[in-house]
Structure 1
């Protein structure tokens, strides 16, 4: 019996990974797609497309490498869409940006100079940009408490209690409470199509969407998903080659973009569920967990129609509140990486420079969080650009003074 339970453990871990990953962040994806200009059907199609794309990549990589390589959608990227809003040209322009992002991910896996360029972006500035993107969404629980207290209070209390006693289930449980409140207080869903269908959106390419969405989405996906995802795998003793992962996720992003999918990448937080001890004592069989999680995520994508219908009848601030609760941990980590002490240098390497670090991070964070677009380009791009400029201005001057 214990042996049978041990053999089933990777399967159970994969199911849990899929459930937690989907329930914890699908609201962010749907809200982000709608903010980018998608209608309800297009948003549901986007969630289905990105779910299926993640499933295909997870299964292919797992079967090929026999490593627990978990694949997910870019939750920080979806949050970026919320802060950026609808670009000039509407959702087709956003879809064009998704496609460009996928091409850039493929190029990062094939062209060494592009990979080095991304690596050259100071990590604290990328983190400050992400924190600025997440801030407004993470304020939503407070706004919801003021606007719809009867619905928001039970959601927040549930999240707090489960964070204390069963952290992985905190956001899914809060979501269940939110859905219950919506069903009790909102209109009935009679006649609403519950199964999503893939909806083609012909991409359009505008300068504003490419610069304001595609480039920040690419940077956020690389810095906040792929790099931490590799670190999580390394923590458990797995070191897969990054190039095939980037190629596979980039191609999947390109394939899903015309149907509304925004970005496919390595899982970061949920990766630990499939790669760690929860997936069984036999490290050589934990890939079964990541493959199971991929299949589960693809199947859960079929709930995109129902999820979209619930979001359509819910108070927007309540859905944003659930998404904000899901991203509080990511916000805390981004703020710590942006404003905390730099990571110590490796043995024999020069000490990391700190001149202008806090000022440049603060400028990046403030400009991004302001959410103001200039010449049709979203604030995330300008925040990163402003931070790089401040760092370049302050670092040489302070170095000479020292």
Structure 2
């Protein structure tokens, strides 16, 4: 299995020794034809923040943008350019990048499959060893190649793009070892081009936000333990199964459930809670930009979805000192449990099995500090260090190091 960056960095170090090392610094350019609110945008902002704290110059080349938290959370010090998605816009700006021997090396990073092809093609067309194209992925590719979720024609087109375009990238950085293995098993990419790196999920801002008190009566009283669920209220998240499981557990002990999020299933979930007779013990506070405050006060976080490529919310929960339960069948949570040694996986996806797993966990006495420490590798600074080690190694420039706390980014 591909290991997290500790193993992969050694490959980058070998490359660094075998190539000339210019004195120039590094300029990282994040390309996103769509930049709205979502997990990808959060990771882009966090990774850029971590790189700035290594003295690395960062630029966002964006196409479409939307109003919302992602745009407001762009770190200070990042140069933001919005060019639109037309050929003369974003694509044209990317083609204009021309690194010089005495200027900074350029790493162009794409986060979405919709951007991979044109980023790789544009960078490779330059034929300049001081600019590289890197793809960051948080998704398993094998199921899509086999036609799962796609028509056979679209799956064939995807395989073509991977062979003719994506495989020419200087590196593929996967957010977990099993995703890296999945991409490597395609046989399409050079063996040394795929790496597993910890994604940037948590940091001191999460610690600060978790200390806040939610504006809800349950956050202030000494009532029963709280189980929390976080996510879009959509059938794929299976909060209806969590409600059924909670109903079973609550028949045996006092308990409360808080479900954070918005979505098309909210009305149906409220009606289900009413029909089960547990409505007064279930709260739907809606969407919040600070779920960490609830996580910190919860006894347990439960993620009942069957399809989770990773599950960043599980890392966030561990960082606040709260254990999680997810499904064994979901690939992402299983990877997180393997990497952190924490969390519990329900062996089945039905409400009876989930309820039994919740009961088992509630009978334990978790060590909050151990849970917190298990999520430290996903800290923004550590994640940026891992990404930069690989990127700088392939470009043949010295590896950037974290700046002292009072330091700033390069101009």
**TM-score, length of structure 2 as denominator length:** 0.25
Between Structure 1 and Structure 2, the one with more strand by share is 2
Relative contact order (alpha carbons < 8 A, sep ≥ 6): 1 or 2 greater?
1
**TM-score, length of structure 1 as denominator length:** 0.25
Between Structure 1 and Structure 2, the one with more helix by share is 1
